[in-house]
Amino acid sequence: MSLSIPVFWKNATTVLTGAVVAQILPLLVSPLITRLCTPADLGEFSVWLGIVSIATMIGTLRLEAAMILDHDSEAQRTCFGVIAYSSTLLAIILTIAAIISHAVGVPQVKKMSWLGLMTIGLGVWLSAYNQAVIAYATSYRAFGKAAMAKVCGAGTVALGQLVLLLMGQKGEALFMGQILGLTIGLWAAIYLLSPPRPKLSVGPTHIQLVYLKKHQPFWRFSLPAGLLNIVAGKFPLFLVGAKYGLFAAGLYALTERILAAPASLLASSVLEVFKRQSVHEFQTVGNCGEAFRSTFKALVILGSGPVLCIFVFAPDLCARIFGEPWREAGEFARILAPLYFFNFVASPLSYVFFVAGKQRMELTWQIALFVTTFAVFLSPTSLKQTLVNYTISYSALYVVYLYLSYRSAKNSRSISNGRSTS
């Protein structure tokens, strides 16, 4: 028997409340931050954050998703050990690479501050392990405690950046505040959830290698698919800075801050509930069609209002809240609003590819998305026209993504038999 819709809404409300509270402080301090730092400062920090986001996915090997499917306590301990080992190794490699790149004079690296370069590895490790702990919470439906940990982390980032900027730290305050928030958020998650402590070793143990082999679809297919997705998402910021200048990059970064951060928190809140519900339905009735439909309706309801408000009022709101120099960021937000609506609806539902064992299908779609994004942003058009083309092509691909997700959710016979009919 599948979980009822009231249970879904109860869990979703718990996670969503934490996500909303976690966004209150960043939204309150954003108008102050934009007046205390320059678009170039925000652009540099956004590039740093993009690198950390991409590397974090490599550090986890996407195995945090496997933790929700595999509830055995020793298996989860092994998963923590694998993620701790891979993220630590990656953090060390990235730090050494940053030092060498700066020493040999790589232009892109020379533009970054030493603090930014030296904290990339640390940011990756903190983010990767944080994701593992939150996944552990989801596997036991500890949504309330996970929400509290997220609030602690997001609140610390916002207040830390603001206080450091007021103390005169300038652009470096953004890096320092982010690291502080990640640290506090991880500490809170570990304190509240008491996840198993990983067994650390110089190299991967036999048990860890067996675990990697057992869950190889996650790092063979889900990891490349996720990397293509996140690189395609961060590539526009990098290219806007390269083609149109740092000021444009700063405006685009604020646009992402307005649209992506709240949307991702809300969507991830629903995702945490959908993960558990979809797995439960597959294990009990052989498909997760009911979970997919109820979650789809919830996402459409949650996303419609904010998108309409952004489309109508974004330019004036940006000028009034962040200052007149940031008005054009509102114009960018208006253009990109439909894209972020489809992203908000489709992203949480994509977890069905993990449950149904259709990671290869997702990888194919991500390759198409990656190629499309590069083609759009490399075209010789104005920035606004490029964003319009980006929104149209991206939204069309998301419609296909939703269709493929729904097919996977209903395809119970081929999944239970270990075959794919897609």
pLDDT in tens, 139-179: 887 777 888 888 889 889 988 999 999 988 888 899 999 99
Per-residue pLDDT of the chain (422 residues; tens, 9 = 90+): 344 445 555 665 665 566 666 666 666 777 888 888 877 788 788 888 888 999 999 999 999 888 877 778 888 999 999 999 999 999 999 999 999 998 898 877 777 888 989 999 999 999 999 999 988 988 887 777 888 888 889 889 988 999 999 988 888 899 999 999 999 999 999 999 989 888 777 888 899 999 999 888 888 888 887 887 787 778 788 777 777 766 777 788 888 777 766 666 666 667 766 777 777 777 777 777 888 888 888 888 888 888 888 888 888 888 888 877 778 888 888 999 888 888 888 888 877 887 777 777 777 888 888 888 888 888 888 888 999 999 999 899 989 888 888 888 886 444 334 333 33
Among 162, 179, 209, give the residue marking a domain's end.
Answer: 209
Among 189, 209, 229, give the residue marking a domain's end.
Answer: 209
Any domain includes 379: yes
**Do residues 113 and 180 both lie within one domain?**
yes
Any domain includes 247: yes
Q: How many domains does the chain have?
A: 2
**Do residues 111 and 244 both lie within one domain?**
no
Any domain includes 30: no
**Do residues 161 and 256 both lie within one domain?**
no
**Do residues 230 and 189 both lie within one domain?**
no
Any domain includes 27: no
Any domain includes 80: yes
pLDDT in tens, 187-232: 999 999 989 888 777 888 899 999 999 888 888 888 887 887 787 7
**Do residues 367 and 232 both lie within one domain?**
yes
**Do residues 45 and 141 both lie within one domain?**
yes
Among 175, 209, 243, give the residue marking a domain's end.
Answer: 209
**Do residues 362 and 278 both lie within one domain?**
yes
Any domain includes 174: yes
**Do residues 414 and 322 both lie within one domain?**
yes
Residue 341 domain boundaries? 1-16+215-422
Any domain includes 345: yes
**Do residues 154 and 200 both lie within one domain?**
yes
**Do residues 114 and 231 both lie within one domain?**
no
**Do residues 272 and 355 both lie within one domain?**
yes
Any domain includes 29: no
Three-state SS letters, the chain: CCCCHHHHHHHHHHHHHHHHHHHHHHHHHHHHHHHHCCHHHHHHHHHHHHHHHHHHHHHHCCHHHHHHHCCCHHHHHHHHHHHHHHHHHHHHHHHHHHHHHHHCCCHHHHCCCHHHHHCHHHHHHHHHHHHHHHHHHHHCCCHHHHHHHHHHHHHHHHHHHHHHHHCCCCCHHHHHHHHHHHHHHHHHHHHHHCCCCCCCCCCCCHHHHHHHHHCHHHHHHHHHHHHHHHHHHHHHHHHHHHHHCHHHHHHHHHHHHHHHHHHHHHHHHHHHHHHHHHHHHHHHHCCCHHHHHHHHHHHHHHHHHHHHHHHHHHHHHHHHHHCHHHHHHHHHHHHHHHHHHHHHHHHHHCCHHHHHCCHHHHHHHHHHHHHHHHHHHCCCCCHHHHHHHHHHHHHHHHHHHHHHHHHHHHCHHHHHCCCCCC
**Do residues 108 and 170 both lie within one domain?**
yes
pTM over 0.75: no
